[in-house]
Amino acid sequence: MSINYRFPENFWWGSATSATQIEGASEIGGKGKNIWDHWYETEPNRFYNDVGPETTSDFYHHYKEDIQLMKQIGHNTFRLSISWARLMPDGRGEVNEEAVTFYNNVIDELIDNGIEPFVNLFHFDMPMALQDKGGWESREVVEAFAEYAKEAFRLFGDRVSKWFTFNEPIVPVEGGYLYDFHYPNVVDAKRAAQVAYHTAVASAKAVEAYHGSGQQGKIGIILNLTPSYPRSQNPADLRASRIADLFFNRSFLDPSVLGEYPQELVDIITEHGALPATHQGDKELLKANTVDILGVNYYQPRRVKAKENLPNPYGPFLPEWYFDHYEMPGRRMNIYRGWEIYEKGIYDIMMNLKDHYGNIESFISENGMGVQNEDRFLEGGEIQDDYRIDFVREHLKWLHKAIQDGSNAKGYHMWTTMDNWSWSNAYKNRYGFISIDVETKERTLKKSAHWFREVADNNGF
């Protein structure tokens, strides 16, 4: 096989998952309830086909088999998350020993199979005991997160050298406090700003704790960086894209990597009376505790234009007061997810990090394609997901170009390892290299898994 796109030596080939989406065992093993368990109990109709997180793909019982499959697919790295509510059922205080045993077993099994674990501390799954105290609106929860992080570093840091504080922290802000697609279903910009701010402070406190622990690894954050492309070069469209970028990218990127907030964002939040409450010393904390490494999740671009109409003066303040979404004619779509496919976005993100964020060490931590009713493509016992191979290959070409042009990108993780339970969408769209029969839990490699193994073995394609 001739290699046209060769990646740097020791490139990280792998995939990513999250605890709530794959572990199952939500009511056993000493786990406490998180917000997803609670929301499903109270409003099952908000979930696709009324399917909740109680069993999911059952990684809790199948982790040995799954890690063998990861090895078979050519993984040298794998990102998982710890369930805060599993490790600390009440969110703070007593540690659940059954959870310690489970995560120790998973970490050891990965290492024994030549797969380096990348461990993320928070992936949308607030313990319900802490949500009852206000969730990320509460400063007490910020302190609880710092304690949880320290405990995780103590328990697992001797074998884990890549840590991440949060995955896509903007999503609980959007989903839970602006647009009503995550619990607690609040629509309030001031509360959203408080949640975002406290999350950034919690991340900095975890970074501080890790750097003070004496452990020799790296700690970062995983952000879904979605380029905001203007409809045109008209100043009004350019302003719309700049403000969209402030809200959805720079609100976490700047404090995490540069240690400060963009002044224009602060001015906008202030203008709308939504400035969060702060504590003395926060500014210094953020400045002194920036991340060592950045995970980049990329699925689709954001295309925006200047507002067509003035916002409703009686409606709640939302970022969309400053821009409208724009459907570019001729765009290519993943019709199942309603997302545009635009591979060059990955290049533009990495060049932005190079040019404006000190070329921080980074990697693609999620990129993938969800497709509905994949059984249509079953031939000879294997799903022929050529569309997924094409999707990954074309994104990898642009990532390769970014590296050629000086990006400090160290790896590529696909979302996701195995078909997983996807929040309110449940199993509607499948993303995995590994197909899961939801009823029997049988695992089967898809065509893309064999292709990825070849890419990983050759360190390119």
- Alpha carbon of residue 90 to chain centroid: 24
Alpha-carbon distance of 363 to 39, in angstroms, equals 33
Q: Which whole-number Å values give the CA distances from 461 to 210, 252, 298, 341, 395, in the listed order?
A: 37, 34, 21, 21, 12
- Looking up tokens 């380029």 gives 227
Kindly name the residue from 23, 137, 366, 374 that is annotated as catalytic.
Answer: 366
- Looking up tokens 């059922």 gives 89
Phi, psi of 334 (to 5 degrees): -90, 100
Q: 201 forms bridges with which residues in the sheet?
A: none
Alpha-carbon distance of 265 to 90, in angstroms, equals 35
Alpha-carbon distance of 208 to 118, in angstroms, equals 19
Give the HSE-up count for residue 129: Cα atoms under 13 Å, Cβ half-sphere.
14
Please confirm, yes or no, whether 366 is among the known catalytic residues.
Answer: yes
Kindly name the residue from 168, 174, 343, 374 that is annotated as catalytic.
Answer: 168
As a three-state string, the secondary structure of the chain is CCCCCECCCCCEEEEECCHHHHCCCCCCCCCCCEHHHHHHHHCHHHCHHHCCCCCCCCHHHHHHHHHHHHHHHCCCEEEEECCHHHHCCCCCCCCCHHHHHHHHHHHHHHHHCCCEEEEECCCCCCEHHHHCCCHHHCHHHHHHHHHHHHHHHHHHCCCCCEEEEEECCHHHHHHHHCCCCCCCCCCCHHHHHHHHHHHHHHHHHHHHHHHCCCCCCEEEEEEECCCEEECCCCHHHHHHHHHHHHHHHHHHHHHHHHCCCCHHHHHHHHHCCCCCCCCCCHHHHHHHCCCCEEEEECCCCEEEECCCCCCCCCCCCCHHHCCEECCCCCCCEECCCCEECCCHHHHHHHHHHHHHCCCCCEEEEECCCCEECHHHHEECCEECCHHHHHHHHHHHHHHHHHHHCCCCEEEEEEECCECCCCHHHCCCEECCCEEECCCCCCEEECHHHHHHHHHHHHCEC
User: Active-site positions?
Assistant: 168, 366
